[in-house]
Structure formats: structure tokens, C-alpha cells
Amino acid sequence: GLQHLKKTSPVVSKSFHKVLIANRGEIAMRIMRTAHELGLKTVAIYAYEDRLSMHRYKADESYLIAPEGKHTPVGAYLAQDDIVEIAVKRNCDAVHPGYGFLSENAEFARKVEAAGLKWVGPRPETIDALGDKVKARAVANECGVPVVPGTDGPIEKIDDARAFCAEHGFPVIIKAAMGGGGRGMRVVRAAEDLDDAFERARSEALSAFGDGTVFIERFLDKPKHIEVQLLGDGQGSIVHLYERDCSVQRRHQKVIEIAPAPTLSTAVRDAILEDAVKIAQHVNYRNAGTAEFLVDSRGHYFIEINPRIQVEHTVTEEITGLDLVSLQLHIAAGWTLPELHVAQDRIQIRGFAIQCRVTTEDPAQGFQPDIGKIEVYRSPGGNGVRLDGGSGFTGSIITPYYDSLLVKLTCSGATFEKARRRMLASLVEFRISGVKTNMWFLQRLLSDPTFISGGCWTTFIDDTPKLFANTKFRNRAAKLLAYLGDMVVNGCRIQGQVTAPLHGLTEPTIPVLPDAKGNAIDVTTAPPPGWREVLLRDGPAAFAQAVRRHKGVLIMDTTWRDAHQSLLATRLRTHDMERIAKTTAHAMSNAFALEMWGGATFDVAMRFLHEDPWDRLDRLRRLVPNVPFQMLLRGANAVGYTSYPDNVVYEFCKQARAHGVDVFRVFDSLNYVENLKLGIDAVRKANGVIEAT
């Protein structure tokens, strides 16, 4: 199949057959799928912390960007020279930057082209002209496209900010000249707040983008955020693929996107599309890009052009039937829009599409990102349902290093209402457990009357606290499976109830012990005296000396602790041990000790078997009076998993000794001497036998 795709591909040539994706996660996977469809070889790059990410294994080849520790997890994907070196060394023909990271970095684009590689995106000089919001405003002014009233250029002094506000009034918004994603932005509604907001915006912009330059605009109350998908071949042909409504945002970060915008009037839509194309034509735009506008009751205002593929490009693909990534790669390979049969009069839209960004965030906790292992992942499907994911699968490890986007869910329908209902049904069908997600919040959004009417504005989420009334999912199937699994492993948890043996299990046979003459020993009689008699008669010090003087080999049996811990997850019950206890007292009468307590047995007895571990000691001690009992003591941790106060360890050893423990094997996982010393001293004061390891 792959060979057929390569041999029959119109885009593959000697000079264009292998593309490196300078990105990760969902968008890397998205680009690879189209590249493979076109018969192109793909090369993935990954940071050390990202070595288990799915995009690494989806590509034909994948390479570590740099050795562990050279870069931060995010910094690796910003390492321009390292990435270009990999592309050249591995004989790539092109670099696709995806979105985010270096996708809007003109310097990186220049380095790619200087290395003889094709850049799947706009020309570097176009990125320079449009990637900076201040420069983009200047371009819009040259084209006669309306912009939000703002400063003529970047400002650095608070006096300039005061002068602008005096002329245009409040509210205003302070924005970072470089970057986006809501960073470096501050809304100011009163003069007394201006100075503080100005300094905070500059500081945040400098920290996030390395450039503290800001500019000021008039702030629009409750505007819509409308963006236009553009496509140019760099040879004079420019088309739009209609608009998207991206008004549903949280702190300037998009949450739900819709195409086309459901409530725009025809006049406003036509004006926005015309202005977007006008700007693209002015700079002879090449490849894919997005012109962004704000729309209020007074008109529309150009914001910027994002010179890259967008996260939400999927909704445009669904309503136009065009593969934007495929068109990007064709244009990078030298194709023109006429050669691709892409013309404005041939681009039609059909129905509506909605995209929801499913993230590993908890909306109830301020959208705090969650990390962990995905235990259950059951995705929706069916007519009009599309999934674009990178790390969404059972067993996936969600790390704290990267963006929390898990999967993009896109649903389409003949009308906006049909697409909305399909999206809502798909979210209900979606099952993810192991990490928290925002799916309940998305369902709440999609069910809100304002969203249903198409009336959302850019701060709708922040202005509507009722959306955050948490919904607890019952997750009945997962809970039922957990209950059944617990029943199989641990039996019934109802106190006092005895369950019947599982079908197929046979009653264990207690072995018969022969004496020296071959006659069966009656284990109901008192067992022969053993080493415990020496301990009780002479004390721990004399016991230790007697052991040292002993010429033969002494056995310490671990069946009642370590054996069933390894084989049965420490699930051997006291009842099971009692059945073999008297036989053990006779068979092991000359043993040094039976290790049967401490370590995990204490914890498991209480939490899983619902038994009293002290009662286990008492009951077995009565049945085995002759052999010393040994326990595992985790130094300062006793039988727990954390370091306890000294007095707790001393009292614990005292009680263990009183309930029948004779020998304490003191242990520390790190061989930390101070922890060992504490355990040794506690055993000594409890009058037990010390065995330190």
C-alpha cells in the first residue's frame, strides 16, 4: 500500500520526497497522515522527555533532538540549529513547523531555506511583516482595512499610554507586540489602574517572548472573534476558505471553534472576507495563514495574521472538503493554486462544523493541568465525527511538560444545531479516566442557551460563572469493573460474611508428617521445643550467642510473608495460615525463625483483607509456640511508607514484641545508617532480637 502511494503520488519527486515535522503531538500526527497519503516520507523529532510520545512512532524515522539535559523539554523544540542539522543530515527536502513552537519564527524559516530546504509556510519576510501585531496593523492601514483604534507603534513609556487614553478614553487593552495566547495582555477600565497594568504587561511580555514591547488599543466590549482561512501560492493567486467563529475563549485561548460563523450577516461576512484577501494579496502571501478580526455592533476590525496552520483548521476542512495540510505541502513543492484546481468560485461550503479541544485540565480548579496515566480511553465515532489526537490512548502517560491538549473532536452537520447535538452526543460517548479532562465543561458550554443561539463573545466563559458548576460523572461501568476485580482478588468486603469457594478450586491438602520410624505425627499434640525456648529462658543476648555457637545450618522460612507477597500479592489470610500452623510448628521445630509479619503484610491485612494484623500475631503465636517469629522492620518507616516520629517506632516495636514477634530484621531501602540505627535501638529497648541488613 505504501509503495503504491509513493509510486502514484503527483507531489513526490527527487527534490521533494521527505519532510521533517518540527513539532510534536497532535499536529505532528496530523501532518504525517497527509504526508503518508501523498507518498512522502516523514521524519519526527522528539525531546528526551517526549521519547514515549506517539508522534515519534508514527513517523517513518524519528530522532532525538539533543542528549538529555541539553535543553528543557520545551526548549528542545525551539532548538533551531539542532533541528536544521537533523533535517540536513537525514536528507530531508522540507520542514513543516505545524503550529506553536517555531512556526512563526522568521529566523528559523531563514535557516531552513539557507540550508537548501523548503519551508512549508510563508516567506520569512512575510512572517516578519505580519507576525508582529504592530507591523500587521501598518499593513492593514496601507490596504485601507479597518483596525481597532490604537497607538501608531510600540510604546515603552507610560506617558505615551496616558496620552492615548486621554484621546480615546477607556476601556483599553494593553498587548504584547510579539506572541499571543493571552500573555502580555491587560484590560484597563479606569485611569487609576493604568500604570500598574502597563508595567505588568511589559514584564509578562518580556518573560514570555523576550521582548517587552507593547501597544495599546481601544477595548471592545463583548466582541466576536472571527478569523478567515487564507491560502496563497506565492505566485499571485490568493483564495479564502471562508471564516471561523472562535469567540468561545478562556483568557484569549480558544476552547470551541465553529465554521462558518453562524450569526454573521451576509454584508459583514463579505466585507471581512474581502479585507482578508486584500491584505494577503498586498504581501503576495504564500501557503496557509489566518486573518483574525474582532466584530462588534459598530463594525469589524483587523487584528493580525497568523502565518501558519491553525489548531482549528479542521472545521474549515470539514465544511469545504479541502485538505489544508495537503495544499500546504503541494504549494511548498512548487504547485500553484490553478494547478491544484483551487479557485475562489470553486470553493463551496456545506453545512457547519464545530471543534472542541479536549484537554487534561480541571475547569473546577481554574483549568489546572492534570498529569498521570490514562486508564480508560474510549472515543466516539460515526457519521460526521472526526478525531485528531496525539497522546489519547489507553496507557498513555500525560506529562507536565507540554500543552494539555489531548485530542481535538470535530463534528459536522447540515445545520449548526445538528452539528451541536452531534458534538454533545460525542462528548457524552467519550470515556477517559485516569486523568481529569474538561469534557464535562464542554458539555455545559454546548448546552448553554447563549451558545445555542450563537451569541457568545470573547469573554463569555469568564463572564458566566454558572458554567463552572461541576458535574460529577457516575462512571458506572468503570466502578462495576473495579468492584468485580476486587471481589475476585480479595473476596467479599462485607464484615462477617463468608463466601463460597470459587468454582474449580480444590480444597488444599495438609501434608502428613512422618516421624523417624515412618509413623504419622499427631500435630494436635504439643510441638517439640525449639529455638524460642532459648530466647524465652535466656534472653536476646544469650540467644544470639547460642546461634553463633551452633555448628550446623539454621533455616529461616519466609513462606508466611515473602512467599505469598511475591506469588499472591500478600493476600494469604490468617485463616489460611492457621490451617497449616500446627503442622508447621512440628515440621519447622528446629528452624531459626519464621518470617511472617511486617513489611507489606501489615498494610495488606488492614486495607485489603480487612483483618487485624495484631490479631494475626496472637492467633498464630498460640498455634506455633516453639519457633521464633520474625518480622521485617523498615527502620524509621516501621511497616509504613513514610518516616514516622521516633516515639511511634519505639512504641510499635514494644507492641510487636508483646504480641509475639521475637526477631526483628531491620532494613532500609537506601541503606541509610541513621534510619537503621533508630530501628535497632527501638528493638533493643523492646527486648527483641536484632537482625540488621
Catalytic center residues: 308
Residue 301 and residue 147 in contact, taking contact as beta carbons nearer than 8 Å: yes
**Residue 103 DSSP one-character state:** T
Q: How many CB atoms lie within 10 A of CB 524?
A: 7
Residue 276 and residue 260 in contact, taking contact as beta carbons nearer than 8 Å: no
- Consecutive H or E run containing 137: helix 133-143
Distance from first CA to last CA of the chain, Å, rounded?
Answer: 61
Query: What's the rounded Cα separation, in Å, for the pair 238 and 229?
Result: 11
Query: What's the rounded Cα separation, in Å, for the pair 524 and 586?
Result: 10
Query: What's the rounded Cα separation, in Å, for the pair 269 and 243?
Result: 8
Q: What b/e readout covers 237-268, taking b as 16+ CB neighbours within 10 angstroms?
A: bbbbbbbbbbbbbbeeebbbbbbbbbebeeeb
Select from 41, 5, 2, 1 the least CA-distant residue to 21: 41
Q: What angle do CA 371, 373, 376 make, to 5 degrees?
A: 120
Q: How many CB atoms lie within 10 A of CB 223?
A: 20
Query: What's the rounded Cα separation, in Å, for the pair 377 and 601?
Result: 34
Query: What's the rounded Cα separation, in Å, for the pair 441 and 443?
Result: 5
**Sequence-separated (6 or more) residues with CB below 8 Å from residue 278:** 143, 144, 145
What's the sign of the alpha-carbon dihedral 140, 145, 147, 151?
positive
SS3 for 230-284 is EEEECCCCEEEEEEEEEEEEECCEEEEEEECCCCCCHHHHHHHHHHHHHHHHHCC
Select from 214, 189, 220 the least CA-distant residue to 293: 220
Residue 522 three-state SS = coil
**Sequence-separated (6 or more) residues with CB below 8 Å from residue 126:** 283, 284, 285, 286, 307
